[in-house]
Structure 1
């Protein structure tokens, strides 16, 4: 596919285009947190061309993912774009482009919390679970080996007690001994407060500071950019995308991937084809006909 030649957009006409990675941009992944290699997954060449064309025309393309910073920036580089903003760790870490920073991005906003109460509660219900904490500074502590493809590269194994009392941007709980239905039931019974959490399609739980989601981070960036809510486009496929899709659907365009679970599709303004059918590219061409 030849690169579409898009006319530069006026500042008043630019869109905020928020894109989940695994299952939306990246195929052959298994959802955020399911252990695919951080640089793995396939980006359809035509999709990559379309994303670059929109970015180069002046639209604000923002990767919005549950991956760690270490596992996100290689994908941004593979997309061959230089977005001003990148959102990682399900909204807990917002990066801003900075040519002098490592890999050209600095941590502009980091939300953190003390995970002690949540960890103690979960441990009473899921006694065989594996626990990990992504620290506010980017480090990563874990109790037992877990799939780490979407997690930081700086890792250290520690006793459970060393996860308590730290400042975390994210907590990961993996319970391979539980079927997803059992896992969901256990999580629902915990009564977790002062945190936000999302359960993946496997027995994998992501916990963030209270009120922190992809949507909360995107709204901060949208306000800074002064982009009207009607010019928001967001696409995702996982339960950690529900808040983002609900936020985008309020006045903009919220697209759920065709393979997404029904509760994800229910909050979107429309459903596109699956990742295998290049659904994101289809949705982008519908929103931006100039892509051809």
Structure 2
């Protein structure tokens, strides 16, 4: 642990990436020029907190190989990284400090959910992120947050695999229509979150960023009162609720109303230094 804080002052600082650490709403996701997408003061604050000995944990819906380049750009070496909305938890390899191993991987058979969704959303695009790290899809899904190892397959090949995540995108539906359709599906034995666009992320039952963070918190021995979490998406709601029960939870200013409602407080939008302000308010002695 870095010098500067006592063990009983360490915090677990859980940070979403897109829209929280990364201002990619204004800079785009193409080109992987992450330095341009990380607001300078937020990046400096994250590095200062990490160097002081706090447990900084990236918690994102991104795949592993879309997450680690951002961690590298932050110029920190966190012990723990959570990807795929909690389905994959990485632990830094002590023998290779820049490498991470899959410490916990949650997997499920997505067949029942896929068949049910396809019957309701017949024009949707489907994809499965495999527990082993690969990615199968029926039609291209334009995003920089998914694995680079991808293969297009017929819908039937998505059935019966071991998946860490299912992605459903329905560009033919407005978000309101998409939300209504998802609510009527009666999905069971899975956890799911709908994005700001017509995008559905499905994980194994009970698996969220919050469930993965609680495992990490227990492993590192940090009290529940010393957790901080910041996010902006519906897939962050469980994380914000988890942190807010005993610690500090912050929604970014551009988050939709139902996300803001679940946070203990709301900061400025990502493009107005919202993350830096939230961290400074929580850690004024270090960042003030």
1:160-187 superposed Cα distances (whole Å, 9 cap, x missing partner): 0000000000000000000000000000
In 1, are the aligned partners of 2:3 and 2:53 still within 8 Å (CA)?
no
Partner of 2:160: 165
- SS class of match (2:56): strand
Mapped partners of 1:12, 1:68: distance in 2: 33
Mapped partners of 1:114, 1:124: distance in 2: 18
Offset at residue 100 of structure 1 (A): 4.7
Select the residue among 13, 18, 21 that pairs with 1:17: 13
**CA 1:22–1:190 in structure 2 vs 1: closer, same or farther (change >3 Å)?**
same
Listed as ranges, the matches of 1:117-136 within 5 Å are 117-136=112-131
1:155 aligns with 2:150: yes
TM-score, normalisation: structure 2 = 0.95
- SS class of match (2:167): strand
Select the residue among 32, 35, 47 that pairs with 1:39: 32
- SS class of match (1:29): helix
1:54 aligns with 2:28: no
Select the residue among 259, 262, 265 that pairs with 1:264: 259
Return 5+ residue gaps in structure 2 as ranges.
none
1:88 aligns with 2:83: yes
**CA 1:40–1:264 in structure 2 vs 1: closer, same or farther (change >3 Å)?**
farther
Return 5+ residue gaps in structure 1 as ranges.
1-5
Offset at residue 143 of structure 1 (A): 0.3
In 1, are the aligned partners of 2:39 and 2:271 still within 8 Å (CA)?
no
In 2, are the aligned partners of 1:38 and 1:149 still within 8 Å (CA)?
no
Offset at residue 7 of structure 1 (A): 6.2
Mapped partners of 2:46, 2:97: distance in 1: 24
TM-score, normalisation: structure 1 = 0.94
1:19-55 superposed Cα distances (whole Å, 9 cap, x missing partner): 000000000238xxxx933835500111111100100
* Structure 1 vs Structure 2 CA RMSD: 1.6
1:145 aligns with 2:149: no
Partner of 2:186: 191
Select the residue among 209, 214, 237 that pairs with 1:214: 209
Offset at residue 276 of structure 1 (A): 1.3
Mapped partners of 2:43, 2:250: distance in 1: 18
**CA 1:147–1:102 in structure 2 vs 1: closer, same or farther (change >3 Å)?**
farther
**CA 1:140–1:38 in structure 2 vs 1: closer, same or farther (change >3 Å)?**
farther
Partner of 2:102: 107
Question: Number of residue pairs matched?
Answer: 283
Runs of 4+ in 1 over 3 A off after TM superposition: 99-103
Offset at residue 101 of structure 1 (A): 6.0
